Structure 1
């Protein structure tokens, strides 16, 4: 097992929602408040304009405005990673350059989706982005959404680039993650809450969590207990989180929808739809149970 050296972007990162006004516009004031609260509650960094941030339905200008507003709110001491992924390499490069200029500390770059490029093309896509900026990349491996994974052999080659520094892992392939971590210095961040603790235990750097929008201290406490050497307490705390994680992330509604329902954080953009009354009540019940737990 690798020791837990500091990851390039911290260890407890929240995949932050993007708040909208009742009329559907970008709500920068709400974004500032939410970002400040997450940092105060233990988040080392924030990932903006990822899947949870509804990046497919925000404009390039909105992404930049959101990044600038959050940077102004939290200051330079908090890591901000900007989601710049798209299915178009040229567009991704442009987003990466705009995010770097707006103050991003890192770039979250997802595998190009829908077109299902072969591994040679996947590798070339990431290298184009890495060469176009001076900012470190977190590669986002989520084949369940993109249709294409980043194969371990591809990750081994990409790890040789000085600006390819991390992976957000939603592959559900712990064996592959173990092998890549053993052979590279890539920092692995769990993108699946149920695997936060297992991945951390085998040398992962931390997590990028949607659920952390709602319970940031609870999420971080699991890693804190593990780092303190109390693995039994880490497992207990992780178990307490499991019902809420399942309801928010694996019960049929996207994480963006469940977070906004719990936080009453404004609408989602179509094609997403808000959680219904029954689903919202169930989520709030589980949230209250977790708050009451020891």
Structure 2
């Protein structure tokens, strides 16, 4: 059995931008707030962090800044994925050198590949570093699924430690095939309790950008045996979860953060401002949850 990376809620942190670059002062404030609120781990430069619109130099600067700011207080997961294996290796090695605790690496999108190609892609990345590797398996984003049989093969590689999984039916099969050799974290805020019940260790959460304490409490309650408290948070967050995904992530996330006074700034093109209807739904959900 491999060592567990963390148990709890990992915020998929939105990167605060100005019109000209990253707002590092605000990024520091957000990190400090998350640590104070009980967030168990912080994902830097993931999908919600808009890594896809960051040049490598900026991507690396953000990771270096976050690692130094967090300073080992919570687990740091660094986004290091690419659909170019060589590029993914370069980013992964940088993240390791910068001091990240683990890397999150995405399935190759656009060019796609076969299941054997997925195995070889992730194997090469894992063998290029010593820190734990977390696989990003979100087919709605990449149009490519890592099959359970492939995950079983990958779980046999020493430092492939976990997978961000969004499919509950597949998750059960992965647990059946991999046992304790691969940790699973929910990639869907709406499926946290069911995945924990199957054996998951936590969630990589978008909702934690606005309710970090409650996302931490949801997972904590489960592991403390308080299923009623865990279930209540899961159900109470449904309207908020729906609103936060009413348009492409992180458009509603940043809109919510800005409404709450966090000054997360704009999204970068091709992502645009939230629509009027989306904003109305978001405001209703935020008010209903007592956030604005």
Give TM-score, length-normalised by structure 2. 0.92
Give the SS at the match of 2:237.
helix
Between the aligned partners of 2:120 and 2:23, the Cα distance in structure 1 is 36
The offset of 1:217, in angstroms, is 0.9
Select which of 152, 155, 161 maps to 1:159.
155
Aligned residue number for residue 287 of structure 2: 288
1:162-196 Cα offsets, whole Å, 9 max, x none, are: 11001111234343243245x34211000111111
Select which of 202, 205, 210 maps to 1:209.
205
The offset of 1:36, in angstroms, is 1.1
Alignment of 1:43-192 (within 5 A): 43-172=39-168, 173-181=170-178, 183-192=179-188
1:46-101 Cα offsets, whole Å, 9 max, x none, are: 11111101111011111111112112222112111111111100000001011111
Contact 2:6 2:75 in 1 (8 A): yes
Give the SS at the match of 2:289.
helix
Contact 2:43 2:79 in 1 (8 A): yes
Contact 2:156 2:181 in 1 (8 A): no
Q: Matched residue pairs, number?
A: 284
Give the SS at the match of 2:250.
helix
Aligned residue number for residue 261 of structure 2: none
Flag as ranges the 4+ runs of structure 1 deviating above 3 A: none
Select which of 19, 26, 34 maps to 1:30.
26
Aligned residue number for residue 267 of structure 1: 266
Give TM-score, length-normalised by structure 1. 0.92
Unaligned segments of structure 2, at least 5 residues:
259-263
Aligned residue number for residue 12 of structure 1: 9
User: Larger deviation: 139-148 or 221-230?
Assistant: 221-230
Contact 2:9 2:39 in 1 (8 A): yes
Between the aligned partners of 2:278 and 2:145, the Cα distance in structure 1 is 32
Between the aligned partners of 2:22 and 2:230, the Cα distance in structure 1 is 37
Between the aligned partners of 1:64 and 1:13, the Cα distance in structure 2 is 20
Between the aligned partners of 2:36 and 2:98, the Cα distance in structure 1 is 23
